[in-house]
Amino acid sequence: MSHHNLNTLTAVELGELLAAGEISSVALTQACLDRIESVDPGVKAFLSVDREDALSQARASDERRAAGQPLGPLDGIPIALKDIVAVTGQPLTCASKMLENFVSPYDATAVHKLKEAGAVLFGRLNMDEFAMGSSTENSAFGRTSNPWDLDRVPGGSSGGSAASVAAAETVLSLGSDTGGSIRQPAAFCGTVGLKPTYGRISRYGLVAFASSLDQIGPFTRCVEDAAMFLDAACGHDPKDSTSLPGLETNFLEGMKNHRDRPWKIGVPKEFFAEGLDPEVRASVESAIQFYKESGCTVEEVSLPHSSYAVPVYYILATAEASSNLARYDGIRYGHRSSEATDGIDLYYKSRGEGFGEEVKRRIMLGTYVLSSGYYDAYYLKAQKVRSLIRKDFDDAFSKVDCLIGPATPTVAFRAGEKTDDPLSMYLSDVYTISANLAGLPAMSLPCGMSSDGCPIGLQVISPVLQEAEMLAVAKRFEEAHPYSGIVAPSNGKAGSAS
């Protein structure tokens, strides 16, 4: 096997090479850093990269291996991080002016666990400010481009995470998904992106957007890499009360146990309604056909409250966000206005200057829906509908093992296309939001390319805690299709690098 493009291989492949002593983590990490140097001026996935720190982690990994004490399959594998998880001594900006100069004094639990697994954690990946957006155009530090077509958005909010994997600037990346912020950019950039069951991965150290919806997950080049990430990052955390107790699972092994099952697959009819791009529909339908041919039963199911998912989400997520983001006041840390005349003015000016437009819009929306006199009509009503959406899934999963459908209604749109129309931007998450509302595991994997060379994502949604089966479902499709390990061309024009 040629070692020229180490950064384009999967973590599983690289793990074998590292274990066999054929490559070093330093070489692999250097390959990623070199790639960043050559393509990131165009892609702009990274807000910053601490190269020295990355290489010193890689050296430590090589030393462990030399001493015969590797920490696990991820030891020495580079994982780039969305700029929303806390890493001791590294910037934590959330792509916001508010935290432009903030450096975290502590590690997120997921970061701690990945460090313990030996991964080389590096880089601060661009995102929509405080994870609010679907295109990474809401970053205070400039937009990230889709590596398949630099004029297009990579999706969001974890756009940097998706783009960095697609452009082979890292092997894996970490993102977060509140309403689709992993699956939508994964679909737009042609990577695997997985949001685990709510509570699988600790949220401690993940900067909160909407606490009841946020979940950390991986971007990878193949399904098994996602399983490896979960193996390292999942687990109960006493520092997060919403973290699920008593679950120790080996997903990489677990997904193999599921591989030959003749699944009953549900196709939600609401996911194929108005607004679905014909090319996306065709690609997803051919994936459905593949599952039929592979021995699965496919039946149409209904999620009757799906149409409420987007409004319910924008009530609950903004309500929580309005409170979660109250701490950014310029008093203890973060941006403090130099213009303020008194205490109250300090709040107005610091927050007014520190937050971008979309963040302000959502804080105002959330403040409004929680206000006395409106609480019952908005927040409380939305909570009730959220229960109905959950029940829709319970009903569906009483008949089928998992659901498949499109991850997004369209392929990646052009930069600037939706920035003046928040509602149409919000609708790009129409298929992903309900899994967050129901706390379900869901993932996106590449299932085809559009005629103008943009990746198309297939979404799999599974019942709570059934990640292993979900991975197996995805793996069957991946094995039979030539999209595994696709890497976007560095010139930013559509095409396959294989």
Partner 1 sequence: MKYEAVIGLEVHVQLKTNSKMFTSVPHGFGNEPNRLIDPVVMALPGSLPVINREAVAKSIQVGMLLGCDIAEVCKWDRKNYFYPDSPKNYQISQYDQPLCLNGLVEIELAGPSRSEEGPHRKVKLTRIHLEEDVGKLTHFEQDSLVDYNRAGTPLIEIVTEPDIYSADEAFAFLTALRRILVYAGISDCDMEKGQLRCDANISIRPVGTTTLGTKVELKNLNSISGVRNGVAYEIARQNQVLAEGGSLVQETRRWDADRNMTTSMRTKEEAHDYRYFPDPDLMPVSVSEEWKAELAKDLPEVPFDRQRRYQQEFDLPYSSASVLISDRMLADFFESAVEFGGSPALLANFVVNDLTRELSSGDEGVDLSNCKVQPQGLSELVKLVEENVISNQIAREVLGEMLKSGGNPRDIVKEKGLEQSSDEGELEALCREAIAANEKAVNQYREGNAKAINAVKGFVMKATKGKANPKVVNDLIERLVNE
Report the catalytic residues: 82, 157, 181
The residue within the footprint of partner 1, chosen from 41, 52, 293, 372 (CB under 8 A), is: 372
Q: Which pair of tokens denotes residue 483?
A: 């999209």
Query: Are 354 and 334 spatial neighbours (Cβ–Cβ below 8 Å)?
Result: yes
Q: Quick check: 17 binds partner 1 (CB under 8 A)?
A: no
CB of 206 to partner 1, least distance (A): 6
Helix, strand, or coil (residue 267): strand
With tokens 């937050």, the residue in question is: 355
Binding of partner 1 at residue 405 (CB under 8 A)? no
Build a one-symbol-per-residue string for 189-208: x at contacts with partner 1 by CB under 8 A, - elsewhere. Answer: --------------xxxxxx
Strands (DSSP E) found in 258-327: 264-268, 297-301
Among 247, 331, 364, 377, binds partner 1 (CB under 8 A): 331
User: Residue 360 interacts with partner 1 (CB under 8 A)?
Assistant: no
Please identify which residue in 48, 56, 242, 294 interacts with partner 1, judged by CB under 8 A.
Answer: 242
- Residue 490 touches partner 1, criterion: CB under 8 A: no
CA distance 267 to 297: 11
389 binds partner 1 (CB under 8 A): no
Hey, which residues between 271 and 310 contact partner 1 (CB under 8 A)? none
CB count in 10 Å sphere of residue 115 = 18
* The residue to which tokens 């290489």 are assigned: 55
Handedness of CA 480, 481, 482, 483 (dihedral sign): negative
- Nearest approach, Cβ of residue 67 and partner 1 (Å): 33
Q: Which of 56, 212, 337, 419 lies at the binding interface for partner 1 (CB under 8 A)?
A: 212
Single residue of 294, 367, 419, 496 touching partner 1 by CB under 8 A: 367
94 in contact with partner 1 (CB under 8 A): yes
Beta pairing, strands 172-177 & 442-449: unpaired
Task: Give least dist CB 169 to partner 1, A.
Answer: 24
Q: Between residues 4 and 332, which has the closer beta carbon with respect to partner 1?
A: 332
Site for partner 1 contains 384 (CB under 8 A): no
> With binding defined as CB under 8 A, does residue 131 bind partner 1?
no
Are the C-beta atoms of 440 and 172 separated by less than 8 Å? no
* Nearest distance from C-beta of residue 328 to partner 1, angstroms: 8
379 binds partner 1 (CB under 8 A): yes
Give the shortest CB-153-to-partner 1 separation in angstroms: 25
Position 104 contacts partner 1 (CB under 8 A): yes
Write down the least CB distance from residue 217 to partner 1, Å. Answer: 16
Among 92, 132, 276, 425, binds partner 1 (CB under 8 A): 92
Residue 87 or 301 with smaller CB distance to partner 1: 87
Interaction between residue 106 and partner 1 (CB under 8 A):
yes
DSSP state of 336: -
d(CA 214, CA 193): 15
Binding string, residues 61-90; x marks residues near partner 1 by CB under 8 A:
------------------------xx----
The yes or no reply on residue 319 touching partner 1 (CB under 8 A) is: yes
* Rounded least distance, CB 375 to partner 1, Å: 7
Q: Which of 74, 108, 470, 474 binds partner 1 (CB under 8 A)?
A: 108
| Other beta carbons less than 10 A from residue 88's beta carbon | 14
Gap between the Cα atoms of 457 and 274, Å rounded: 18
Minimum CB separation from partner 1 for residue 179, in Å?
15
Chain residues 220-239 in contact with partner 1, contact rule CB under 8 A: 238-239
Number of residues that bind partner 1 (CB under 8 A): 43
244 touches partner 1 by CB under 8 A: no
Among 105, 106, 107, 127, smallest CA distance to 115 is for 107
The CB-of-278 to partner 1 minimum distance in angstroms stands at 39
The token duo for 279 is 């090319």
Binding footprint of partner 1 on the chain (CB under 8 A): 85-86, 92, 94, 99, 102, 104-106, 108, 203-208, 210-212, 238-242, 319-320, 322-323, 326-329, 331-333, 343, 347, 367, 370-372, 375, 379
